[in-house]
Structure 1
């Protein structure tokens, strides 16, 4: 059953990821806006889910496999992040590559924290 939860969630997440790449407007051809935005949104959503698991420990089992490992795992993508950073470096866009990598990491952790603390406060009420 656990495999099915991860597979189903992964399929949903991957479809959402693909939809984002089709629907989101890309302001320029250099910066990988879609991957950046999807990964940051995924961090925020992970923070929210983590807050819920602290309030409702039952969510640490099957729901975690479906939502975190499956949906968010399929939605966000570290491999695309790595490839796009490498491509920027190969194109000589060193500053943009550094900005992309640094902002993805730092803003991602900040959004995860924001999602966690925001929803932890909401759930206390």
Structure 2
């Protein structure tokens, strides 16, 4: 049963990630903003699930945490985009540093806010 929950959550998460990429790239040239967005949303949701903790049935964590958030978020693409930015010249190195700083800081902040929200519910 666990694998089916991961599969279902992952399928929905992957489609959502594709949709966010498509929407962001409609408005701008390829950039790390889509990856930034999905990683923040996933960090918040995982924080929320952690904050809710034992009040949730275990299958919810498997479906949403492992399945949905696992497919939605993409730290490997974040790393690839950051390295690509850094290799694109002096201005790119600045953008890479900004991407790194914002993603890590905002991701931890989003997870913390999610945990606090879940803990209050």
Structure 1 gaps, min length 5: none
Residues 1-125 of structure 1: matches in 2 within 5 Å? 1-24=1-24, 28-29=28-29, 31-54=31-54, 56=55, 58-59=56-57, 61-92=58-89, 93-121=92-120, 123=121
- Give TM-score, length-normalised by structure 2: 0.88
- Give TM-score, length-normalised by structure 1: 0.86
Structure 2 gaps, min length 5: none
3-state SS of paired residue (2:14): helix
Q: CA deviation at 1:89?
A: 1.3
Is this contact kept in 2: 1:39–1:108, CA < 8 A?
A: yes
Q: CA deviation at 1:30?
A: 6.3
Is this contact kept in 1: 2:10–2:69, CA < 8 A?
A: yes
Deviating beyond 3 angstroms after TM superposition, the runs of 4 or more aligned structure 1 residues are 25-31
RMSD: 1.7
